[in-house]
Amino acid sequence: MMNARRMTRRAQRGATTVEMTLVGIPLVFMLISIFEISRGMWMYETAATAVREGVRFASVHGANCVLGPEVPNQCDITANDVVRVIRAGAGTGSTHGLDYGPTGAGGAGLPEETTLVRFTSLPSGASLTCKLDGTSGGSCSSQWPPTGDNGVKNVITISIQAPFSSALSMFWPGSKPINFAVVNLWASSSDTIQF
């Protein structure tokens, strides 16, 4: 009688271990999935906010930009200046010196060397692509919006393409070696040149 009870308890302990394994693995996967999706949403929202700050910065540097001793304004901005604002999120590293807090794309963990910032201006449809790290040379050092497209009420658009590496691929069967999946996060903002 005593042996039967011991055997029943051992069988129950083994069943509990098996049940915990069957429930625990999907639970861990769900928790990691929630964290990864939340991280991706945070990165996207931060990139979108930073692009809005960049468009806002560029929209007040048109052909009629006020420049004088009473208004110390930098009217001639380059695409790299706008990228700097996007990277800093109009924070302390921006060219205009205002601090809106940690809204920059650089603070969101976006890989600066592979994140692309695309500029488009109308009516000419001129476009330009720069890297978020500011290493893009050549045309990224030129004035933006370009002459002819920097008139009041002309439309400017800035979009950002940021690669997001997810750790979820480690759960995919047959993924040897572990390659993290990369999804591009896109954010775009448009505005008209104010002055």
- 14-47 pLDDT, tens digit per residue, is 677 888 888 888 898 889 889 888 888 888 888 8
State the average pLDDT over residues 108-130.
Answer: 84
Whether residue 99 has pLDDT greater than 80: no
Weakest-pLDDT range from 51-55, 94-98, 128-132, 183-187: 94-98
What is the rounded average pLDDT for all residues in the chain? 77
Cβ partners under 8 Å of residue 146, min gap 6: 121, 124, 126
The closest alpha carbon to 51, from 101, 89, 77, belongs to 89
Whether residue 105 has pLDDT greater than 70: no
The closest alpha carbon to 54, from 17, 7, 9, 106, belongs to 106
State the average pLDDT over residues 93-107.
Answer: 49
Confidence of residue 188 (pLDDT cuts 50, 70, 90): very high
CA atoms 161, 140, 114, 90: torsion sign: negative
pLDDT of residue 159: 93
DSSP annotation of 151 = S
Weakest-pLDDT range from 15-19, 125-129, 157-161: 15-19
